[in-house]
Amino acid sequence: MEISLIRHGRSMCTENNRIKCMEFKQWIEQYDCNGVFEENSYPADTLERIATANIVITSDLKRSIESAKLLNRNLTAVSDPLFRETELPIPVARGMKLNPSTWSLILRCLWFLGYSRDCESLNEAKDRAKKASKLLVWYAEKHTSIVLVGHGFFNILVSKELQKMGWKGKSSPSSKHWNCTTYSLFN
């Protein structure tokens, strides 16, 4: 059995002007509503895995769904909000203006340290990743070879859970857009 984790493509949301912290929430909403850029080429392993998968799963976010379609236009994917990216907390800094990529980095670091204002905590995300991993294993038991086109941080949490269940593969999935990391379980 194989479970492959693919990170979605680069978001079409490229706006990176400096914004106040309260504007960051709207920026995240815009990021979640945007699709991804179509590339001239994709990693060969990624294309092979998605072409040979018996089922493809995505989150319900547009960048995940669109990425799956760009990798294989003929597939029908199963979309599930369980596989959404981990959330970022909403900042409370007043007046400070930073670009969204800097806000994301700072807030992700704070999130790992326990700050989770208005979003799921790291522990809640780990619990969700455990449920998601069990669901992926269920799909793998039924379909043998499956692919999840998901998101960077959530794929990392899922991979850790799969490894705890005895699945073998890289210790951490690739963080590059379009890259694929496969985990195997041989009975």
Q: In the predicted model, is pLDDT for residue 81 greater than 90? A: yes
Sort residue 118 into left (φ over 0), alpha (ψ -120 to 50) or beta: left
Percent of the chain whose predicted confidence (pLDDT) is above 90: 78
d(CA 109, CA 112): 5
Q: Which pLDDT belongs to residue 78? A: 95
pLDDT confidence band for 187 (50 / 70 / 90): low
Percent of the chain whose predicted confidence (pLDDT) is above 70: 99
d(CA 59, CA 62): 8
pTM: 0.93
d(CA 33, CA 66): 11
What is the mean pLDDT of the segment spanning 97-105? 92
CATH architecture observed for domain 2-184: 3-Layer(aba) Sandwich (3.40)
Torsion over CA of 151, 156, 157 and 160, rounded to 10 degrees?
150
pLDDT confidence band for 178 (50 / 70 / 90): very high
Nearest CA to 158 out of 63, 45, 80, 104 is that of 80
Q: Which pLDDT belongs to residue 74? A: 87
Nearest CA to 24 out of 87, 85, 71 is that of 87
d(CA 178, CA 80): 19
